[in-house]
A = this chain, B = another copy of it.
Amino acid sequence: MQKYSKQTRLLLAVDCIIFGFDGDTLKILLIKRGFQPEKGNWSLMGGFVQVDESLDQASNRILKQLTGLEGVYLEQLYTFGDVNRDPKERTVSTAYFALIDIHKYETQLSNDYHAEWFPLKRTPKLIFDQQEMVETAKKRIRYKAAIHPILFELLPGKFTLPQLQMLYESVYNTTIDKRNFSKRILATGLMIKLTEKDKTSSRRGAFYYQLNMKNYYAKFQSFLNFIPNPDSLLQAIY
């Protein structure tokens, strides 16, 4: 079959906004760009879509190159197609965001790429329109996490209620009453209380929980309430 011979072909890229949580602060992973233009400046991990791979495959490949991780939460965010977004050549870029357990991330691999975690409050200037991509990703996460349990993807398999609350407070830059928080969270039925305690951050120790995977998958698309007053928090600026 012959091709669409008269049409212009364009460069198509994928850029990944990779989020991690260190127990205190929400962060994104950036690299020093290794080629022109903008060589040496901080950038999202990205690459061109190859002719034999889908967008999802491309984003997973790129994520694996930077973090060594596979099978993590990765979601298409938005496709950025302004004509001059890359000054070198017209390039359309589909942005994905990833939520990873920062502790599973292997530092050694990052060093190959000069990768570094930056708190969202203090990210360096990014190349092209990547600042807008990060803003879009932040908004999407805040929006989605108010209704759906995506933030669990940032935590290790075992986590405590105080850790979880820190995460929500960090994402929304707010404070939450811990009595109401635990009621709300436990009411979703998404978590299983373990008998083991985390004794690293208090004398008394906090019980570990893990996800109830069955309920997690079943309720992932439901409208749940993880955050009081989400409207007032969605626009929050770091």
Contacts and interface: CB of A to CB of B under 8 A. Distances in A.
A130 B152 CA distance: 33
- Give the secondary structure class of A's interface: loop
B88 A49 contact: no
A212 to B, nearest CB: 18
Interface in A98-137: none
Given A81-B56, A231-B223, A50 B11 contact: no
Contacts of A231: 221-223
A11 B7 contact: yes
Interface in A56-88: 56, 58, 76, 78-83, 87-88
Nearest to A59: B81
A53 B146 CA distance: 35
B92 A55 contact: yes
A63 to B, nearest CB: 16
Interface of A: 1-4, 7-12, 37, 48-56, 58, 76, 78-83, 87-92, 94, 146-147, 221-223, 230-231, 234
